[in-house]
Amino acid sequence: VNVVASLSHDTACAVAACPAESDRWAYISSGTWSLMGLELSEPIVTDACRELNFTNEIGYGGSIRLLKNIIGLWLVQECRRAWAAGGNEYSYADL
């Protein structure tokens, strides 16, 4: 039986497939959770990262994905709240 090891998570596979051409980009992957992060060459292990609930996960080619788990659709809800505060109400159907 041949065994093929993939990356550490399906999000790592999705990030590896991004056609980024520089190191100045971030990703948002939405599924059961939304994950927002950066692909880096080394982990960031600081008290601030830990206190803000960022994680370091293994990515493609030895890269590190610094990411934060976000409740699904939280970003959309926050955008709707900010737009409504500015007088612009948008339903999910509108979006």
**11-46 pLDDT per residue, tens:** 888 899 988 888 899 999 887 678 999 999 999 999
At which residue do the structure tokens 């505060």 appear? Answer: 85
Q: Is residue 47 part of a domain?
A: yes
pLDDT (tens digit, 9 = 90+) per residue, 46-71?
999 999 999 999 888 889 999 999 88
Structure pTM? 0.68
* Full residue range of the structural domain in which residue 31 is found: 10-85
Instruction: Report, as residue numbers or ranges, the catalytic residues.
Output: 10
Q: What does each C-alpha distance from 69 to 11, 12, 65, 86 come to in angstroms?
A: 11, 13, 12, 27
Residue 94 lies in a domain: no
Report whether pLDDT(77) > 90: no
Query: How many domains, in total, are found in the chain?
Result: 1
Give me the pLDDT at residue 2, please: 92
Helices (H) and strands (E) in the chain, counts: 3, 4
Query: Per the domain annotation, does 3 fall within a domain?
Result: no
